[in-house]
């Protein structure tokens, strides 16, 4: 059994910063690509940022220069540092990871439960 648990979401003022965490646990053999997604009220889910197992990153245009994705492969944890936050960043943020488990040669996609980020004055 594999679990992803996000944390760090809260209410923050425009221009503020937050750091989200996503911790993976369970019978993990290896973690490949990891992503942050978000879903704003009334909108479709959006891919925010991706990080590969070797640390290559990619960002949505809407967050480039403001958000930084990173990971700690020893702790099986991914982070999203969010700076210069805007009201339009308000959303539930989800982590996704492609994980190989100890009992299978295949990798599977796992999702966290989401953490709410609200940017408002």
- Give the pLDDT of residue 104: 83
**Ranges under pLDDT 70 in the chain:** none
Query: What's the burial of 75, exposed, middle or buried (CB within 10 Å: 0-12/13-18/19+)?
Result: exposed
Residue appearing with tokens 């059994």: 1
- Give the pLDDT of residue 105: 81
- Give the pLDDT of residue 45: 96
- Confirm if 6 and 59 have CB atoms less than 8 A apart: no
């Amino acid at each position: 059994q594999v679990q992803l648990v996000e944390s760090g979401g809260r209410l923050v003022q425009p221009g503020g910063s937050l750091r989200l965490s996503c911790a993976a646990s369970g019978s993990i053999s290896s973690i490949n690509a990891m992503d942050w997604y978000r879903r704003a009220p009334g909108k479709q889910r959006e891919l925010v940022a991706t990080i590969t197992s070797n640390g290559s990153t990619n960002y949505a245009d809407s967050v480039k220069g403001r958000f930084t994705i990173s990971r700690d492969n020893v702790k099986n944890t991914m982070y999203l540092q969010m700076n210069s936050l805007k009201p339009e960043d308000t959303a539930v943020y989800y982590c996704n990871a492609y994980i190989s488990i100890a009992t299978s040669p295949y990798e599977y996609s796992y999702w966290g439960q989401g953490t709410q980020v609200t940017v408002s004055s």
